[in-house]
Each structure stands twice: as C-alpha cells, then as structure tokens.
Amino acid sequence: MKLHLAVFSITCCVCVTSSPVPPRPDQVELLLAFKNEFPSRSCDPIWNTLDVVNHSPNISSWTKEGVSFDGVVFDNATGAVTELNLGGACISGTIQANSSLFRFQHLRYLRLFINHFDSSPLPSGFGRLASLEYLDLSQNGFIGEVPSSISNLSRLTSLDLSYNKLTGRFPHIHNLTLLSSIDLSYNQFSETIPSSLFTMPSLWYLDLRQNHFKDPLENMTSSPSSKLVHLDMAKNLFSSRILEPISKLPNLTHLDLSFQNTTTYTINFDFLSFKSLEYLDLSGNSVSVLNTSSKNLSFLILSSCNLTEFPTFIKTSRNLEVLDVSKNRLKGKVPEWLWKLPSLSHANLSHNSFSGSPKVLLNSSLSELDLSSNTFHGSFPIIPHTIKVMAASNNNFSGGIPLTLCQASQLRLLDLSHNSFSGSIHRCLTNVSVLKLRNNDLTGRLPDIDSRILVILDVGHNQISGKLPRSVVNCTSLKFLNVERNRISDTFPFWLNALAQLEVIVLRSNRFHGPISSPGISLSFTALSIMDISLNNFNGSLPPDYFANLSEPLVNSPPVKHWPEYRGDWHYYKYPTEPWYYPSIYLRSKGRNMELEKIPDRCAVIEFSGNSFGGEIPESIGFLKSLIVLDLSNNGFTGRIPSSLAKLTQLESLDLSRNQLSGRIPQEIRVLTFLSYTNMSHNRLTGQIPQGTQIGGQPKSSFEGNIDLCGLPLEETCFRETTGAPSTQRTQEPEVAKQEEVLDWKAAALGYGPGVLFGVAIGQAFATYKPALFYKLFRL
C-alpha cells in the first residue's frame, strides 16, 4: 500500500513538470487573423520615454511558425488563448463587429489599453467573450454608447473603460455579481447614474470622475452589506441629495465629490455618519457646514469651497496627514493648534487672506507647507527640520532669508518669490531641486553653486550684481536658469553648453555684453529650446551657420503626442514621490508681455531683441523648425530678410521691427499658416507685402516706417510695379533656390511637424489632470 502511494506521488510530480501543450492551431489562426485586421501601426513615443508601459508587445512579430507570441498567454493544459496583454501595442484602426478577437472563447484577461481606436464605436462583440474576467479598454478613443451586451460577462471582476469618449447612458449591469472594480472616468457619459452600482455585492472600487452623470431618478439606496471602499464622483452633475445614501456605505474610506458642475446647491456635510472615511475631497463646491464623525480621517481636501471659517472639527483629528484649504476666503491668523496636530505632514493654506506671521513650531511633523498668496508679513517663520517643500510666494515677508532654512537638511523645494526679502543669497540654500527667489530685493553676488540635484534656479527681478558664477557648470541636473532683470555684468556664458539637460536660459535685462559667437567656441546645446538674451548689451554679427547646430529640440520638430505636456511633467512621471513645481517664465510674444505659469513642452523661443547686433540675419535660422516665437527686434541687423524663414512652419510670432533691414519681404513666408503675429515696422523694406491669410490680417502698424512698402494691410497700392513684378521674381528665383539647397543638404532627414496651437489649447483642458495627491495639494 505504501509502495502504491509512493508511485502515485512520483507519477503526479512527473505530470506537473511535463512540457506544456503547444498552442492550438486554430488559436494561432485566430491570432494571425486579428493581427491582419490592423495593418497600420501608430505609436506615441511618450510611453517609451516615461516607462509607463514596461513592455509594449509587438504583434508584428506574430508568425505562423513563431515559437512565441508577444503579449499572449496560452493555457498549459489545453493550448487555448487565455490572456491577451496588448496594452500600448500600437494597434490602430477599428475593431469590427466580426473581428477575430471575439472568437477567443477561453479568453479570461484582455488588456487593450493605450491603443488607437479613435472615433471607433465600442463593438457589442465583447459581450460574446463569456469567460472574460478582466477587461481593460482604457485610453483608446472609443466613441458612442456602451453596448448592453456587456452585461453578458457574468464572470467579469474588473472593468476599465476610462479615458475614452463614451456617451449616453451606462447600461444596467446589476447581474454582474462578481464585479469588484469599475472605472468609467474621463468619458462623456450623461443621463442618470444607475443606482444599482451602489448595491452590487462584490464592488469595492468605483470611479466615475469627469463625466456628466446626474442623480438617479428613483430613490437611491445603498446596501448595508456593501463592500464599496473607494468612490470617486468628481466633476459630474450630482446634487447634495446623493450624500445621505452614500453616507450609509459602511466600508467607504475614499470619497471624492469635488467640482460638481452646478451652483444651485450648497453642501451641508454635517449629521452624516461617514464613520470609516479616511479620504474626503469636496473641492470646487460651496460648503456651508462641515463635520464628520470619522476618527480615521487622514486626507481632507477643501480647495475652492467658499469657506469663511477654518474647519475647527479637525482640532482633535489625530490621524490627519493632509489638509488643503487653499483658494477660500479664510482670513486672520492661522490657529496655532494646527501646527500641533501629531500626524499632519502636508498643509496647503495658499490663496486666502491669512495675515500675521505664522508660528510654525520646530517639533511640527510637517514635510510640505504652502503659504503662497496670502497677506503674511514680517519675518519668515521658523520651520521644522523635517520640511521638504516650503512655498511662500506672493506675501509680504521681509528682512533677510533666515539661515534656519539651511538646517532643513531634507529641503528640496523652496519658493519665496514675490516678497520683500533683502540681503544676499546664502550658498546653503542652493542645495535643493527647485529654488525660486524672483521678485524680491536681494542684492550682492550669486553664491557659488555646486548642486548635483538643482533643476530650477530662478532669481529674476532682484538687484543681484557681479558675474554669473562659473560653478553653475557643476549643476549637471539643471534644466531651467532664469536671472532676468538684475545687474549682472558678464560676457555670454558659452560654458553653459556643458549642461546636457539645460532647456531654458533667460538672461533678459541685465548688463551682459560682447559677442555671442566665437571662432573657437561651439554654441551647441543638447536640450535647449528657449533662449532669451534680450535687453542686454550684446553686439557683433552672427556667423552664417550660427543657428545650424544650436540644439536638437530647436532643429527637429517634436512628434505630436496624445496630449500636450508641460516642463516638469517628466519629473512627476519618473519620480512621483518627490515634490515638484512647474517653472514659470515671462515671455514677449505677439507684441505682448505675458507670464506662462506652466511652460508647454513644445514652446521654442529665440528672443534676441534690444541688443546691438549687426550684420545679416543668418540663413541658418531656417534650421530651427520647432520655433514658435522669434524676436530679433531693436537691433542693427542689415541686409535682406532671409527666405529660409519659410521653413519655420510652426512659427506663430515673428518680430523683426526696428532694424536696418532692406530689400523685399520674401514672398515665401506666405506658407507660414500658424503665423498670427508679424512686425516688420521701422526698417528699410521695399516692394509688395506678401499677400496671405495670416499676413494680410496684420494691422498697418506691423509694416509702417519703411521706405516703400505697398499692399495690404497698408493703404499704398502696388499698381506701379505690376509690369515689373514677374522679372523681379525671376531674378530672385536662383538666389532662393541656392539658399534652399544650402539648407536642404544638412536637413534632408529632418521632418516638418504641425504647430502647437492645437496642443496648447488641449493642454489647458488636461492641465487639471495630474496624479492625485501632490497636484491637489499644490495647484500651481
């Protein structure tokens, strides 16, 4: 008997370790048929850059003889396909109703997120995958309504349809009793929300953020046995009547009701149980009464709630870690008991009317504190040694920057901009990732800076003198350097090109002088896309090839991405646990001075105005295909306007005014369809103004003050030149051809890209989407 047991045991072991069954031929045929339904590929390089998708499967590698199918899992016992992991697989097109995809009857897990099914309806065929347990169709661009056949997936445990363009009413799925997670966020669902979502027996995660859902028509109930833990209903059309039923969800710990798109009601968050709440966000609503009996509350977000009184009920909240009361109408002194809360680590009090001088105790547990945009005054408070983020811009703090800040060894972000600080900058303050001290009364020289972690250095609008310290070259992580409107007297810092990550240089309005080119020095930056050296004393002429190798981002048009990014996004994606600020910049564009609080990633600027440059504008300017803004005004440039400007297809703002340019305006610039601002006034230009939609729409002032210009928008006609125009054009053609040939041989491999107008517009819509915690705490 024992011998039989032993043999049986050995036999079982052999069975377990035997080779898996090879893929079934019919399943391989289905895979190849599915592959052939999508002959084109469309990828967004953002995912490779940010490592959001650890591995992007390549279905092009699927072959009939292949020993492996990337992204496919076969059942070891039957050889049937059980998993398709095709997230970020660059699949582009439309999933047809008869797609081979819907014939995988053993499929349990289907991940199709981050592909390109834009403007394609969601097929009803998904309802035929009866074995499906996990379905992720997020970030694909699907449109239309969700087919009711989705309710056939009785084994489904997780459903993710987020980040599409789905509309209409979401179908009833109350029969899907195994569903534990539903994500419908960032769509366009409308009508009423199915109340059955709150009574599903297995559901613990429900995300309805940013849709157009309304209250249910019937009286909504909630099951006392509900397992719902996470409920996100932000940015919808719910009213306060929805509070009472969801307050009875016994296990609810995370509730986000922020920014309901209605002004017809005020939230009265009182006398409701919510006994288990740990996270509560009511931002963007009008809140009259606020209280909760939950003793576990650790995150409380009340930004833009029209609050006039500080929420005193948190005085005894021993578990409160995060408090955001920014953008309200709070005034007076900050209650001192706030700093004594034992667990408080993040506090955002910005954009209120708090006054006085806050007394932050050294034994406070704070690691991130935002006091920006209040009326605090006097000396800067003593901060705890544990602080990592200290933001206090736009106040009335005065006196010297306290040396106690140097004792905060973990400090990574310091923003004291727009105050009245005086004195010099201590060297110890530069050992941070972000240092913003703009708009103060700081004097003296910039200290030697030798920080390997410094990314943003902004000391603009002060009274700093001396030279730019050469030690900055040791700041190998530096991306943003702004010293504008100071008294720095120095020559052009050619040595900055050693900083491989430097993207923005702003030297505007100082006392820099001398040439910006040298025969023995290469002006080649690796990452530069914004260079503002305006309003200085730079002089000399620019060599013909000056712009040819300036930087790769300026020369190559960046690829179009799903949504525009901003400088700083990269940091949060790669290091989501680290604090971060977005750099800001003053920019002169389209004849106006403006402040960009967030700089679009595709913003490319050359700003050389207000210097003493002479000679001709180099033809190599045509290499800078990414340029959005070009300003060479108020100099002494001579000669003709280079026809290579026509290659700057993304250019939106061009200012060549107040120089000594002569000859005709190149007719080729008519092709610049994004050019919404042009100024060529006060030169020595002659001939006909190029007639095009963009140029003809400019005001007369854009061309006045020249010798003999004619044509719209000026009132002078060009009838005198009618007979001579063709010959003039013929004489210019060889010169134009020669100029284009010089540019083309170096730029043969460089493509043109569309402008950023669409991207920047969409960016404003997406600017509110950031990973939740830090962005909600520090909205900048």
How far is the C-alpha of 270 from the C-alpha of 247, rounded, in Å? 11
Residue 770: per-residue pLDDT: 36
CA 204 – CA 201 distance, rounded (Å): 9
Give the rounded distance of the alpha carbon of 659 from its chain centre.
38
Distances (CA, A) of 40 to 36, 50, 90, 142: 9, 24, 9, 18
Lowest-pLDDT range, 108-122, 491-505, 686-700, 750-764?
750-764
Residue carrying the six token digits 């729409």: 697
Q: How confident is the model at residue 42 (pLDDT cuts 50, 70, 90)?
A: low
Q: Is the pLDDT of residue 511 over 70?
A: yes
Within 8 A by CB and 6+ apart from 349, the residues are 325, 326, 330, 334, 369, 370, 371, 374
Q: Which residue has the higher pLDDT, 599 or 315?
A: 315
The two beta strands, 530-532 and 605-607, are parallel
**How far, CA to CA in Å, does 154 sit from each of 83, 151, 179, 181, 527?**
18, 7, 9, 14, 52
DSSP state, residue 700: G
Query: Tokens 């039957």 belong to which residue?
Result: 78
Its sign, for the CA torsion 80, 86, 91, 97, is: positive
What pLDDT is stored for residue 732 in this prediction? 39
Cα–Cα dist 664/27, whole Å: 68
Contact 426, 402 (CB under 8 A): no
SS3 string, 360-412, reads CCCCCCCCEEECCCCEEEECCCCCCCCCCEEECCCCEEEEECCHHHHHCCCCC
Which H/E stretch holds residue 212? Answer: none
User: With bands split at pLDDT 50, 70 and 90, how would you rate the model's confidence at 757?
Assistant: very low
Tell which wins on pLDDT, 369 or 601: 369
Kindly provide the b/e burial profile for residues 677-689, where b requires at least 16 CB atoms within 10 angstroms of the residue's own CB: bbbbbbbebebbb
CA proximity to 414, closest of 440, 394, 374, 387: 387
Provide mean pLDDT across the span 79-85. Answer: 95
> What does the alpha-carbon distance between residue 531 and residue 510 come to, in Å, rounded to a whole number?
14
User: DSSP letter string over 558-609?
Assistant: PPP-SS--BTTHHHHHH-TTS------EEEEETTEEEEESS-BTT--EEE--
Question: If you write DSSP's letter for every residue of 500-560 in order, what string do you get?
Answer: TT--EEE--SS--EE-S-BTTB---BSS--EEE--SSEEEEE--TTTTTTSBHHHHSPPPP
pLDDT band for 578, please (50, 70, 90 cuts). Answer: very low
> What is the Cβ-side half-sphere exposure of residue 90, based on CA atoms within 13 angstroms?
17
Query: Does residue 345 come out as left (phi exceeding 0), alpha (psi in the -120 to 50 range) or beta?
Result: alpha
Answer with the residue of higher pLDDT: 676 or 12.
676
> Rounded CA gap, 719 and 721, in Å?
5
Can you give the pLDDT at residue 606? 95
Q: Cβ contacts of residue 4 below 8 Å, gap of 6+?
A: none
Strand spans (E) along 608-725: 612-616, 629-631, 636-639, 653-655, 660-664, 677-679, 684-688, 708-710
CA–CA separation, 227 and 218 (whole Å): 22
Residue 262 CA to its chain's centroid (Å): 27
Residue 551, both tokens? 């930087």
- 726 pLDDT tier (thresholds 50, 70, 90): very low
Q: For residues 563 and 134, which has the higher predicted lDDT (pLDDT)? A: 134
The residue to which tokens 């719910």 are assigned: 238
The mean pLDDT of 300-311, rounded to a whole number, is 93
Rg (CA), the chain: 31
And the tokens for 54? 């650890």
**One CATH from 1.10.10.10, 3.40.1010.20, 3.80.10.10, 3.30.420.40 for 504-514+528-759:** 3.80.10.10
Higher pLDDT, 98 or 56: 98
What 297-301 contacts at long range (C-beta under 8 Å, 24+ apart), as own/partner pairs, is: 298/322, 298/343, 299/773, 300/324, 301/258, 301/776, 301/777
Please write down the HEC assignment for all residues of 80-101: CEEEEECCCCCEECCCCCCCHH
Mean pLDDT for 498-527 is: 91
Q: How confident is the model at residue 156 (pLDDT cuts 50, 70, 90)?
A: very high
Task: With cut-offs at 50, 70 and 90, classify the pLDDT of residue 737.
Answer: very low
| The pLDDT of residue 775 | 32
Whose tokens are 């006085």? That residue is: 356
Question: Residues 440-446: contacts with CB within 8 Å, 24+ apart?
Answer: 440/416, 445/469, 446/483, 446/488
Pairing of strands 636-639, 612-616: parallel
Q: Are the CB atoms for 264 and 237 separated by under 8 Å?
A: no
Mean pLDDT highest for which of 239-248, 486-495, 669-678?
486-495
Instruction: Please give the share of the chain, as a percent, with pLDDT higher than 90.
Output: 58
The pLDDT tens digits for 179-222 are: 999 999 999 999 898 888 888 999 999 999 999 999 886 677 76
pLDDT for residue 568: 55
**pTM of the model as a whole:** 0.82
287 φ, ψ (degrees, to nearest 5): -115, 120
Considering only CA atoms, which of 311, 410, 324, 437 is closest in space to residue 371? 324
At 24-40, the pLDDT tens digits run 999 999 999 999 998 76
Could you tell me where in the chain the CATH 3.80.10.10 domains are found? 24-189, 504-514+528-759
> 97 exposed, middle or buried (CB, 10 Å; 0-12, 13-18, 19+)?
exposed
Written out in words, the top-level CATH class of the domain with range 24-189 is alpha beta
Cα separation, 173 vs 193, in Å, equals 12
User: What residues does 506 pair with on adjacent strands?
Assistant: 482, 532
Strand order in the sheet with 120-121: 120-121, 142-144, 165-168, 188-189
pLDDT tens digits, 328-350: 999 999 999 999 999 999 999 99
Looking at the chain, the whole-number percentage of residues with pLDDT higher than 70 is 83
Nearest to 371 by CA among 363, 387, 362, 386: 387
Reported as a single tens digit per residue, the pLDDT across 640-685 is: 999 999 999 999 999 999 999 999 999 999 888 889 999 999 999 9
Dihedral angle of Cα 279, 285, 288, 293, to the nearest 10 degrees: -10
Listing DSSP states for 702-757 in one string gives GT-SSSEEESTTSS---GGGTTTHHHHHHHHHHHHHHHHHHHHHHSTTPPP---SH
Q: Convert the pLDDT of each residue in 175-189 to its tens digit.
A: 999 999 999 999 999
Compute how many other C-beta atoms are within 10 angstroms of the C-beta atom of residue 511.
12
Helix (H) or strand (E) holding 134: strand 134-136
Q: Report the C-alpha gap between 438 and 595 in whole angstroms.
A: 13
Sign of the alpha-carbon torsion through 11, 13, 14, 16: positive
Closest CA to 398 of 383, 376, 413, 415: 376
Cis, peptide link before residue 713, omega less than 30° from 0: yes
pLDDT at 542 over 50: yes
Q: 437: number of CA atoms within 13 Å, CB side?
A: 24
Query: Quick count: other Cβ atoms within 10 Å of Cβ 185?
Result: 23
639 strand-pairing partners: 661
DSSP E strand stretches across 185-266: 188-189, 205-207, 230-232, 254-256
Residue 729 has pLDDT above 50, yes or no: no
3-class DSSP state of 273: coil
